[in-house]
């Protein structure tokens, strides 16, 4: 039971209520002592008034008055005159004197605690104000045994009452906690367990119903989390199926490209100048396609092969990209501008860097073609601090809002209608493999600009 929330709450409630009662007990017992002593003063005053009314009272009646007042003697000061009204033999000397007329709360509590823990019977003198202003002061002598006994009896009754109140309060709070917190929490736990058994089932997503605002906020946060997780699991399943299909296509396509690669050997032997000029480009394109097919399964495992770094002439690589894009562009007037300085080299994997720049240039060209407008695609490079920056920009219509939100996430929508967004995801991953980063510098109605930052 102590391992449950309601059980621990029950125990803590009992402890805290008892502590509160103890804090109340201390001033209560001090007040009880004060009332006890004041009652003895009042009884002594009544006895003294009887004697003042008839000074012919015999000794036996005087002793009876003192016994009823539970005191040994009574001193009453009236009109500045101090009179010993009643007296009897003292069993022992007076131990202490307590003046109740102007005693502070601290003094009353201190004297009460001292009396409670002092087991020896003592004779004390008590001074107070007479009732109804019947004099200037009244003073009595009395033993403390009866006072301590009454204080202990009162304290036990207070503690017993505190225990009953604590238990009753704890039970009520226990039931309230079970109803308001424990049951809703158990229901949430049950919903979580049911969802965990089949997280792809949208019907098992929790529906917030708690009346407690904090618990309802937790349910709403859990609902959002489960909704996103279910969507991610479904997408993961689709990606797994897509990966399987791509692997099969890649395998067969690689065989087809290998056969085409064999035919290019014969094409290179042609005497036609145009064929001789285009043959190397065709061979390089087919070789890149074969390597891309071979690395498809590696990307499906969420990783690209480590780059094989070497010195790459960036201007020659950009020219190769532009030549390939010029062969596939439509009739629209799209100008490819290469402003990379002559001899500008970067330390990178030439195949992977080609894929990155080719992806960016192709996206820029397709954006212009989709908008049915002329424009330019520009590639530039410069040194900045300890990095090399390669920029690919266009004068197209800019990226849509959805594409900017999920720019480098595969299958979250591409930069153009019908695109998958896979190209930018691959490009970003390849650049990260080089220790660099791919950034979107700007995208508005005046065009889009990407920057590739690579270490020197």
Q: Could you give the number of structural domains in the chain?
A: 3
Residue 334 lies in a domain: yes
Please indicate, yes or no, if residue 365 is contained in any of the structural domains: yes
Tokens linked to 4? 């449950």
Whether 389 and 326 share a structural domain: yes
Per-residue pLDDT of the chain (456 residues; tens, 9 = 90+): 566 766 777 777 778 777 877 778 888 889 988 888 888 888 887 777 666 655 555 666 667 777 777 788 888 776 666 666 667 777 888 888 898 888 888 888 888 888 888 888 888 888 888 877 666 788 888 888 888 889 999 888 888 887 788 778 778 877 887 787 778 888 888 888 888 888 877 788 888 887 778 888 888 888 888 888 888 887 777 777 776 667 666 656 665 666 666 566 667 666 677 766 777 777 777 777 766 666 665 555 545 677 888 999 999 999 988 888 887 665 568 889 999 999 999 999 998 999 899 989 988 888 888 888 888 999 999 988 788 999 999 998 888 877 777 787 765 555 554 455 677 888 888 899 889 999 999 988 889 999 999 998
Asked if the structure places residue 191 within a domain, the reply is no
Residue 386 belongs to a domain: yes
Of 280, 301, 322, the domain-final residue:
301
Q: Which domain holds residue 206?
A: 200-301
Question: What are the tens digits of pLDDT across the range 236-281?
Answer: 777 777 766 676 666 566 656 666 665 666 676 666 777 667 777 7
Cβ 121 vs Cβ 2: under 8 Å: no
Are residues 137 and 11 located together in one domain of the fold? yes
Give the Å distances, CA to CA, from 225 to 185, 205, 214, 222, 245. 17, 9, 17, 5, 30
Cα–Cα nearest to 297, from 364, 237, 249, 229: 249
Q: Do residues 256 and 385 share a domain?
A: no
Q: Are residues 280 and 317 in the same domain?
A: no
Last residue of a domain, one of 286, 301, 316: 301
Q: Are residues 41 and 115 in the same domain?
A: yes
Asked whether 40 and 70 are in contact (CB, 8 A), the reply is: yes
Task: For residues 277 and 404, state if they share a domain.
Answer: no
Same domain? 149 vs 110: yes
Task: Count CA atoms within 13 Å of residue 213 on its CB side.
Answer: 0
Q: Which of 265, 281, 301 is where one domain is finished?
A: 301
Assess if residue 190 is contained within a domain: no
Please state the pTM of the whole predicted model. Answer: 0.43
- Residue 380 covered by a domain: yes
Same domain for 111 and 204?
A: no
Q: Cα separation of 395 and 318, whole Å? A: 18
Q: Do 275 and 392 lie in a common domain?
A: no
Could you tell me if 290 and 328 lie in one domain? no
Q: Are residues 290 and 384 in the same domain?
A: no
CB 108 within 8 Å of CB 34? yes
> Are both 281 and 341 inside the same structural domain?
no
In a domain, 183, yes or no: no
Whether residue 437 is contained in a domain is answered as yes
């Amino acid at each position: 039971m102590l391992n449950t929330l309601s059980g621990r709450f029950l125990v803590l409630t009992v402890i805290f209520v008892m502590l509160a009662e103890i804090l109340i007990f201390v001033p209560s017992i001090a007040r009880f002592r004060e009332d006890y002593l004041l009652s003895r003063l009042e009884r002594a005053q009544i006895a003294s008034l009887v004697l003042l009314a008839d000074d012919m009272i015999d000794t036996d009646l005087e002793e009876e008055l003192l016994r009823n007042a539970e005191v040994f003697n009574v001193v009453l000061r009236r009109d500045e005159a101090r009179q010993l009204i009643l007296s009897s033999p003292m069993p022992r000397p007076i131990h202490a004197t307590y003046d109740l007329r102007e005693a502070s709360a601290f003094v009353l509590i201190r004297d009460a605690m001292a009396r409670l823990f002092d087991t020896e019977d003592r004779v004390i003198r008590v001074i107070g104000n007479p009732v109804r202003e019947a004099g200037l002061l009244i003073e009595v002598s009395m033993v403390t045994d009866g006072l301590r006994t009454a204080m202990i009896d009162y304290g036990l009754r207070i503690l017993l009452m505190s225990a009953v109140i604590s238990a009753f309060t704890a039970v009520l709070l226990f039931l309230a906690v079970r109803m308001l917190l424990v049951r809703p929490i158990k229901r949430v736990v049950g919903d979580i367990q049911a969802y965990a058994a089949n997280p792809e089932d949208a019907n098992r997503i929790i529906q917030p119903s708690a009346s407690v605002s904090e618990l309802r906020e937790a349910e709403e946060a859990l609902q959002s989390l489960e909704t996103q997780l279910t969507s991610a699991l479904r997408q993961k399943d689709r990606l797994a199926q897509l990966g399987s299909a791509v692997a099969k296509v890649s395998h067969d396509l690689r065989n087809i490209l290998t056969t085409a690669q064999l035919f290019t050997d014969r094409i290179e032997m042609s005497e036609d100048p145009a064929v001789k000029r285009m043959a190397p480009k065709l061979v390089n394109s087919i070789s890149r396609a074969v390597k891309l097919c071979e690395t498809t399964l590696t990307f499906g495992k969420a990783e690209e092969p480590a780059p094989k770094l070497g010195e790459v002439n960036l201007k020659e690589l950009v020219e190769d990209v532009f030549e390939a894009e010029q062969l596939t562009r439509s009739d629209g007037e799209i100008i490819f501008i290469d402003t990379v300085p002559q001899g500008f080299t970067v330390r990178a994997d030439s195949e992977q860097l080609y894929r990155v720049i080719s992806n960016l240039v192709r996206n820029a060209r397709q954006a212009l073609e989709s908008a049915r407008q002329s424009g330019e695609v520009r590639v530039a490079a410069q040194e900045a601090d300890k990095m090399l920056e390669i920029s690919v920009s266009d004068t197209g219509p800019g990226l849509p809002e959805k594409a900017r939100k999920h720019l480098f996430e595969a299958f979250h929508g591409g930069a153009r209608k019908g695109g998958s967004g896979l190209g930018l995801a691959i490009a970003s991953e390849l650049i990260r493999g080089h220790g660099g980063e791919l950034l979107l510098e700007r995208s508005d109605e005046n065009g889009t600009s990407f920057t590739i930052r690579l270490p020197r």
